[in-house]
Amino acid sequence: MASKKKDRGAAEPTPQELIRYYREMLLIRRFEEKAGQLYGMGLINGFCHLYIGQEAVVVGMQAVAGAADSCITSYRDHGHMLVCGMDPKGVMAELTGRAGGYSRGKGGSMHMFSREKRFYGGHGIVGAQVPLGTGLGFAHKYSKDNGVAHVYCGDGAVNQGQVYEAFNMASLWKLPVVFVIENNKYAMGTSTIRHAAGQELYMRGAAYGIPGEPVNGMSVIAVREAAARALEHARSGQGPYILEMNTYRYRGHSMSDPAKYRSKEEVTKMREQHDPIDQLKEKLLADGLIDEAGLKEIDREVKVIVTEAAEFSQSSPEPDPSELWTDVLIEA
């Protein structure tokens, strides 16, 4: 589980923080691997988009998040939930459609939320979360709570018209928003080279005066450093900022995608040379911050958490039929 967020500056991460980043990324990886297994067993239905390979992005962003910050993303959302502090049991139970899930089994993979953890979804419509996240930025400014909205989207979403309407409003009103473009290179299955006129996605806000920068999204340390700059910019009243996280998903767009649009050699090369978890693991060992026994203990702890989440997701009851009539209208 992620620790409670605190306001942090851009100081160098401590050894304890680096170890926590490793644990958080490993939790996402193991959770997603288990979700993939449950999907293959027919225990998770519908769509299921795994975050395997992209763990450094959300972990690095949340590493320097403020206590009042909010988070909103698309349908590749399980990792964001976990790092925001949501209970793995509740997340996994929602995946299996059980009453113990965050949306009481009615939302599934793409639609779960936690107001307590300031996580606002999980959205299935491509790009729809960007204007909603801009609204979160407006709420932060209106309430003067010193919060910043972390608004995630993929490379496929940045060609949506509503994204640019949101950019314009965010810049015009100098809203505290950091737009995080998780560029995993293939959107739903089409390379950015084929679907994006202009490969420098961090420049997509230039027409609206929004600064941006590219980031090595496979390095949690690089993400953390860029996140600190972007969040300070937004939090200080200067308006929105764009971070293009150059990352890579190892699995298909969703569990139903065989990913035949890229070679196995390409995926293998990325895993062997750029894996975010392996890179941090090597640094921890090289700098003497932890030994192999310590790493094995973290892995054991994470496996216990994921196993318990999987067991809960199958033992929790299915929603009562009466739940069909709840959460339709707000009760006054």
CA count, 13 A, side-chain hemisphere, 262: 25
Task: Delineate the domains of the chain, giving CATH numbers in brackets.
Answer: 45-89+115-258 (3.40.50.970)
* CA distance linking residue 175 with residue 182, whole number of Å: 21
pLDDT in tens, the chain (332 residues): 333 344 444 689 999 999 999 999 999 999 999 999 999 999 999 999 999 999 999 999 999 999 999 999 999 999 999 999 999 999 999 999 999 999 999 999 999 999 999 999 999 999 999 999 999 999 999 999 999 999 999 999 999 999 999 999 999 999 999 999 999 999 999 999 899 998 899 999 999 999 999 999 999 999 999 999 999 999 999 999 999 999 999 999 999 899 999 999 999 999 999 999 999 999 999 999 999 999 999 999 999 999 999 999 999 999 999 998 888 887 76
CA count, 13 A, side-chain hemisphere, 182: 31
How far is the CA of 21 from the CAs of 9, 15, 242, 246, 308, in angstroms?
16, 10, 23, 19, 21
SS3 content of the chain, % helix, strand, coil (to 5): 50, 10, 45
Q: What pLDDT does 10 receive?
A: 62
Residue ranges of E strands in 140-216: 149-154, 177-183, 212-216
pTM metric for this prediction: 0.94
Q: What pLDDT does 262 receive?
A: 94
Residue ranges of E strands in 54-138: 70-72
* CA distance linking residue 56 with residue 35, whole number of Å: 19
Q: What pLDDT does 332 receive?
A: 65
Outline where 153-219 has alpha helix (H): 161-172, 192-195
3-class DSSP state for residue 29? helix
